[in-house]
Amino acid sequence: MSVRTFEGDFQARDARFAIVAARFNGLVVESLLAGAVDTLRRHGVEEADIHVYKVPGAFELPLVVRRLAAGGRYDAVIALGAVIRGATPHFDHVAGECAKGLSRAMLDTGVPVAFGVLTTDTIEQALERAGTKAGNKGADAALTALEMVSLLRRMEG
């Protein structure tokens, strides 16, 4: 008996990607951005097919991500940000609305949205996930985008 399995193979070198990055906690987010671009490049995506958009903070990510996803120009959108509990009394609102809005943007448009938004208690935890000892969440989000683009293509093709 053989079971048919459909999965992405991360091959999407001809795809176009938008990356939306928050300026808030820019030290962390710039490292996420570098990780995301590096991962796309190493999977064969041309720099000309990677566009970066900047927004003030994580709360603004969903609007711009949704606009780009709905525009038909990109195969996937990667959202990058860092919401750090110690830095804000309204952590739960910023992080919660950001996650909800990004999820809605993906489901409303049918375009994959990769969630590369760190939500941590401390700046140290954020830095650990931005290219130091706990990997790079921006690179992970780029891999997710590549996997989802290739999976959706298989499902459609």
What number of chain residues touch ligand INI (CB under 6 A)? 15
Q: Are 117 and 79 in contact (CB under 8 A)?
A: yes
- Burial call 9-24: b when 16+ CB within 10 Å, e when fewer: ebebeebbbbbbbbeb
**Beta carbon of residue 80, minimum distance to ligand INI (angstroms, whole number):** 10
The Cα 69–Cα 72 span in angstroms is: 6
Q: Is 57 in the site for ligand INI (CB under 6 A)?
A: yes
Q: What x-and-dash track marks residues 134-153 binding ligand INI by CB under 6 A? A: --------------------
Nearer of residues 105 and 146 to ligand INI, judged by Cβ: 105
Residues in the site for ligand INI, rule: CB under 6 A? Answer: 22, 24-25, 56-60, 81-84, 87-88, 94
